[in-house]
Amino acid sequence: MVARGSSVNDQSISGYTVRIRFRIPTRDGVGSERTELDLSQESGPAIVLKSAESDNNTGSTPIKNSGWLLLESHGWETATEAEKASGRIIDALRRSLAYHHMGADLGDRGPKSGFSQVFLSDCSNATGESIANDIPGWMIFPTSSRPKIVRIGDIGAYRTVTEERFKTTFAAAFDCEKPMSATERTAFELYTCAHSVGTVQEARFALLFATLEVLIETLPRSESARNHVDQLIKLTEDNVDIEPSDRRSLVGTLEWMRNHSIRQSGRRLVEARLPGWMHNGKT
């Protein structure tokens, strides 16, 4: 392990460097005016928090104003040790940010550089320097031969509806005199929230699914199926060997099974609202 306080850009240092790129996906952040903040402990490894703009020793954006941030730790004797350390450093990042009610995007959602190895090799030959893609999350490289990092900038896109299409759609909607139900209005609020979560696809999917669930109405199963479930409920209620709390929980689950499942009810909703519609060749 190298001495505490050594620069991670010091190419005289042997061993391997761990580099972790991330961003805090809100307006919150670390309020530092520095471009580099030493996070090393007295007896621990050298760890530095940096503005991503200083990745290639260029730029002077302070940490508090940087969209992307870097955690770098150097002095690891082998690549295996460095890889193991990367997991510990990322977990420390997650825990410390969670304590301050913040999250971390480790680059899994993009943008991601995808330059071919042929292109990178040509650039390396032309410049005489090692050049690497800016891969999501962590990467490891020999400290003595730090590569230049190349990345694609943030990509933005939007869509519009033409005047004529919007006029036609609004006129058709206005002709519908039936008011939206409270359930439909709640679903629309969730639908709006789903379009307000930015590029976090998982959050958008969850909200869109919740939108659909609000519209689903579960109906009772057949009489024979309900009678069978009622027998299971009675057997469970009469079983004194089951703890009371477990018994109540099981009975509640069985009572829910008297109605059709969310999957069956969801299919019925889609078939009623979108009869004959196809997507990618499937109903």
Give residue 177's region: left, alpha or beta (phi > 0; psi -120 to 50).
Answer: alpha
Handedness of CA 222, 224, 227, 229 (dihedral sign): negative
Mean pLDDT of all residues belonging to the chain: 84
Does 105 or 186 have the greater pLDDT score?
A: 186
Handedness of CA 29, 32, 37, 43 (dihedral sign): negative
How far CA 144 is from CA of 11, 15, 36, 79, 188, in Å, comes to 4, 8, 20, 13, 56
Per-residue model confidence (pLDDT) at position 155: 64
Helix (H) or strand (E) holding 39: none
Does 40 or 43 have the greater pLDDT score?
A: 40
Per-residue model confidence (pLDDT) at position 1: 32
For strand 46-51 and strand 36-38, is the pairing parallel, antiparallel, or unpaired? antiparallel
SS3 label, residue 220: strand
**Tens digits of residue pLDDT in 156-175:** 677 788 999 989 998 999 99
Tell whether the model's pLDDT for residue 78 goes beyond 90.
yes
Q: Residue 262: CB partners within 8 Å, gap ≥ 6?
A: 213, 216, 218
Tell whether the model's pLDDT for residue 56 goes beyond 80.
no
